[in-house]
């Protein structure tokens, strides 16, 4: 089984409950944020079909799919567990990663260059994290909705366009 498909299914499976109940399940929202942070920074080319249009990450390192899945799971579990101890900072970090992921991928989808897309990732993440600190209730609602919707949309897009074993 191709491990890239596991990543796509995990994005969809975690994105749906975060989209529906992100404020109630802050630990799940934080876990998805940790996973998206790893995917945003590590993954070079998760998909073959859309590498020029929609790349999940900036490709800081070129790791195998197995290492990407392990790193994403570790970051997700770590940030989810951190939520049990310090909710607001962990949720702010998840908001930074999740909203930044969505904005970066939308920018890449619309043809913005990768350095500018990464700058947009940072700016959108700072705005989202600040919103969580300033207005926690509304900040979590908006950030978790954007993160969940983005994870479901990009996971579905990538799952639909990924190469199928039937194609060869």
The tens place of each residue's pLDDT in the chain, 168 residues long, gives 566 777 788 888 888 998 888 788 888 888 888 888 887 777 554 333 333 333 444 555 566 667 777 888 888 889 888 888 988 888 999 999 889 888 888 888 888 877 788 888 889 999 999 999 999 889 889 999 999 998 898 888 877 776 655 454
Q: Distances from the Cα of 157 to the Cαs of 12, 115, 121, 151, in angstroms?
A: 10, 23, 20, 10
Residue 134: the pLDDT is 92
Coil, strand, or helix at residue 85? helix
Crossing angle of helices 136-161/87-109, nearest 10°? Answer: 40
- pLDDT at 63 (0 to 100): 65
Q: Which two tokens stand for residue 126?
A: 């700072």
Give the number of other Cβ atoms within 10 Å of residue 65's Cβ. Answer: 15
Q: Specify the pLDDT at position 1.
A: 52
Task: Select from 18, 20, 53, 52 the least CA-distant residue to 36.
Answer: 18
Q: Is the Cα torsion angle 135, 107, 90, 35 positive or negative in sign?
A: positive
Distance set, CA 53 to CA 47, 84, 90, 111 (Å): 10, 37, 31, 7
At 87, list the tokens: 């909710």
């Amino acid at each position: 089984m191709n491990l890239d498909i596991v990543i796509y299914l995990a994005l969809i499976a975690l994105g749906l409950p975060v989209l529906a109940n992100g404020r109630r399940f802050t630990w799940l929202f934080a876990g998805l944020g940790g996973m998206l942070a790893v995917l945003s920074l590590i993954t070079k080319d998760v998909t073959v079909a859309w590498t020029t249009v929609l790349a999940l990450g900036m490709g800081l390192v070129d790791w195998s799919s197995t290492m990407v899945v392990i790193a994403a799971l570790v970051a997700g579990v770590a940030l989810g567990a951190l939520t049990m101890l310090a909710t607001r900072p962990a949720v702010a970090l998840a908001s930074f990663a999740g909203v930044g992921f969505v904005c970066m991928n939308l920018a890449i989808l619309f043809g913005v260059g990768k350095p500018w897309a990464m700058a947009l990732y940072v700016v959108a993440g700072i705005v989202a994290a600040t919103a969580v600190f300033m207005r926690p209730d509304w900040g979590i609602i908006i950030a978790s909705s954007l993160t969940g919707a983005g994870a479901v949309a990009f996971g579905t897009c990538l799952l639909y366009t990924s190469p199928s074993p039937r194609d060869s």
